[in-house]
Structure 1
């Protein structure tokens, strides 16, 4: 690569990194708000929230990288046109295809990043996220560790804890069990501890009273106890297993899985095949995104009023490509044998890029002839 190529490529990579950080931050904050409310309402701590947020970052990065590549190409090309750098290069005899060479290299780099994310990082992070989500859903401890609130961890169960000490001891515990159809039991205790066992969590209460009401006879029986163990796991049914998500499965598994595997995961073979091919198509599509942006901006000559028509045209060319993917995903993931539709978007992007490059080359020749 020549000095010009290295100069343009460095500008593209710097701005690509900047826009990626900005867009990832905005997208992450938007998702983190809902995630924070969900986890905190389930009694989880800040460490779990940060862990879940970190595991969701690869998927967010995968979504924003094509946008960052497009915006970076728009910004760099616009600045070069505004500073007359492209005009100087064209006057020196450089064709539009030669000027776009670093943009092609930039697109290939972005495609490689997308491929690494789609085939390796996103499935691995998604698998870890789903596993941790499954563990959190089974962990009933966090649902009880809230003081001063009446909570309902499941239907028919009401728990109130006045205070929780630094050692994790509960003070003044109220627990009402209405899960049985004919019996209502209310437990009150001065102290309690939540103990984890091999069979699940147990609530051990000390110095309390158990009030048992028979709804049929309306008879009340009261029992005082020094210590009593309440089986939380016996009343709250925890999930016994989980279904794998398509996002956490490897690409070879999606492309080669038999129909029985897809059915066992609650999906279809068509969805498996389309998801596998879509990961490959994503990395191909992003190669042409910056080329379309740069070549479209090179259609017009320098103007004091800017090149907003070319920028709007570049955006207008990208929007139908995204709509194409939406339509392909709707068909390919539902009908068997239509997984090849995943490559429709990159194929159209390649055609649009070739058209824009051809038009920009003709435009540069006309401007060069007029200048001569």
Structure 2
């Protein structure tokens, strides 16, 4: 069982992390909402899709935010406890740096488990659904192109009018005109269907009017198909990006897929980055703890220790990003990616546990003279 001190520190870090994470998620969602709203207006999607897309986009940026937020929460908590002399009292009570660091370690470990659930499952699962919504919105005729009660110019020569949309794929009162072929089609109703060639409209109970050689030819039909010039669904041809893949698909790309072969090293590098990213939830807080606990307490504040921790965190993350991109071209750098995480953690453990305890300052005897 956790000691009271460890539990107290872990809860302090957890509460700060929770509030900061919610705030950062709301901020990122607000920034992304501009793009989502524009997509909804352009493609005529229902407002519910905005909340759905915002929710699906959360695991991706949350997996990158969580290590940084945990670092900030740990740094803030230990710095506040130092400023309030809580750390000094605990040290005076005989607690070592190792015992004081346990609370941050527990919070970081729990954050690492949460981040693994994001990177290994929730992020790829949500990205697959997110891309599916975008692809469907861009290829769906009923929501993206056709407008009820309006003449819609699809291509330069093609115009279509829909009196009423009874449902997502059922249309009433259709007028179709192709200027290049001098063809006009009027139909009572139609259904949107997906074919191998792309989206089509199957119309029923209407007539075709073709002007040829100065004469108008009229042909009635019970069923016909309209090709309104849209290409086939890109979803069938779209290559899955790294964010949409689960870990095995990243570490073992398909050797029969030309796109996978072309991006072979990049996919593997992204797979190892997916493994390492959650470990930063533990590595970065340890950097903060080691920086604050290994220095002398000063009433003037812990500016030097805080600055050292922030610089260490930035160097660590920047190296991780650079190495991930570089390893996509040079696979030997994968070992350096792991060293970039392991070495700071070992150094932090040494600063917390390995160094000798700081000697307590001498106290002058009462009545002694300088």
Q: What TM-score, normalized to structure 1?
A: 0.80
Structure 1 residue 272: Cα displacement: 2.1
Structure 1 residue 9: Cα displacement: 0.9
Give distance in 2, aligned partners of 1:91 and 1:220: 104
Structure 1 residue 48: Cα displacement: 2.7
Give distance in 2, aligned partners of 1:221 and 1:341: 77
Larger displacement relative to structure 2 (18-27 or 237-246): 237-246
Match of 2:16 in 1: 15
Deviations 1:63-96 (A, max 9, x none): 2111210111122112211221001011112222
Structure 1 portions without partners, runs of 5+:
none
Residue 286 of structure 2 contacts residue 345 of structure 2 at CA under 8 Å; is this kept in 1? Answer: no
Distance 1:33 1:91, change over 3 A: same
Structure 1 residue 37: Cα displacement: 0.8
1:313-328 aligned within 5 A: 313-328=308-323
Give distance in 2, aligned partners of 1:252 and 1:302: 50
Match of 2:256 in 1: 260
Distance 1:136 1:165, change over 3 A: closer
Instruction: Work out the number of aligned pairs and report it.
Output: 356
Give distance in 1, aligned partners of 2:222 and 2:143: 21
Structure 1 residue 50: Cα displacement: 2.6
Residue 200 of structure 2 contacts residue 228 of structure 2 at CA under 8 Å; is this kept in 1? Answer: no
CA RMSD in angstroms comes to: 3.5
Structure 1 residue 225: Cα displacement: 7.7
Give distance in 2, aligned partners of 1:102 and 1:371: 31
Matching residue within 260, 267, 275 for 1:272: 267
Structure 1 residue 158: Cα displacement: 4.2
Residue 254 of structure 2 contacts residue 260 of structure 2 at CA under 8 Å; is this kept in 1? Answer: no
Structure 1 residue 192: Cα displacement: 6.1
Structure 1 residue 172: Cα displacement: 8.5
Give distance in 2, aligned partners of 1:70 and 1:220: 78
Q: Does 1:345 align with 2:344?
A: no
- SS of residue paired to 2:329: coil
Deviations 1:10-42 (A, max 9, x none): 111122111111111111221122022123212
Q: What TM-score, normalized to structure 2?
A: 0.81
Match of 1:297 in 2: 292
Residue 124 of structure 2 contacts residue 245 of structure 2 at CA under 8 Å; is this kept in 1? Answer: yes
Larger displacement relative to structure 2 (202-211 or 317-326): 202-211
Deviations 1:215-274 (A, max 9, x none): xxxx7655678889774446211234332222222212322335334x344742211211
Give distance in 2, aligned partners of 1:155 and 1:108: 59
Give distance in 2, aligned partners of 1:82 and 1:100: 17
- SS of residue paired to 1:196: strand
